[in-house]
Copies of this chain bind each other. A is one copy, B any other.
């Protein structure tokens, strides 16, 4: 398995993966694709896109970038792995790659925002197991009963 920058030819496969996870609404899928298109088209977009690839093709992708108005904080905007290959370490590898890339760019804090919806349970456990404590919950953020969860990791602390 290797991790490499996303290329335009990966776009359709990324759409398949995001859709296949079953975690995202149509409008969220459209937003994920907008970010992919912006990141592919403009190196100055602030969206850094990478895919995890195995012999049979792309298994997952992630997108991270600097959080506006901050000094050294980054967001993991999207991370998704084909459900058929989940549990094989692609998500973990993509997350570790993003962390290293943030450190290389001089960043120090990586944030992940997600939904408290039931369907995201496995995702939440994945972040917690990967060293991202839950640092905030905004009740009813997405809709009544669906909270925003914010996970954060101090990468320099984790490194040192």
Contact = CB atoms under 8 A, between A and B. Distances in A.
Q: Chain A binding site: helix, strand, loop or mixed by DSSP?
A: strand
Contacts of A108: 140, 144
A152 interface: yes
Interface in A64-114: 67-73, 108-109, 111
User: Which of A27, A31, A150 neighbours the largest number of chain B CB atoms within 10 Å of its CB?
Assistant: A150
Interface string A134-160: 011111111110000010101000000
B27 A142 contact: no
Contact of A109 (B68, B73, B141): B141
The size bracket of the interface on A is: 20 to 34
Nearest to A137: B136
Nearest to A71: B143
Interface of A: 27-28, 31, 67-73, 108-109, 111, 135-144, 150, 152, 154
Given A70-B141, A71-B143, A73-B141, 19 more contacts: A28-B69, A31-B68, A31-B69, A69-B142, A70-B142, A70-B143, A71-B142, A72-B144, A73-B140, A73-B142, A109-B140, A111-B138, A135-B136, A136-B136, A136-B138, A136-B150, A138-B150, A138-B152, A140-B154
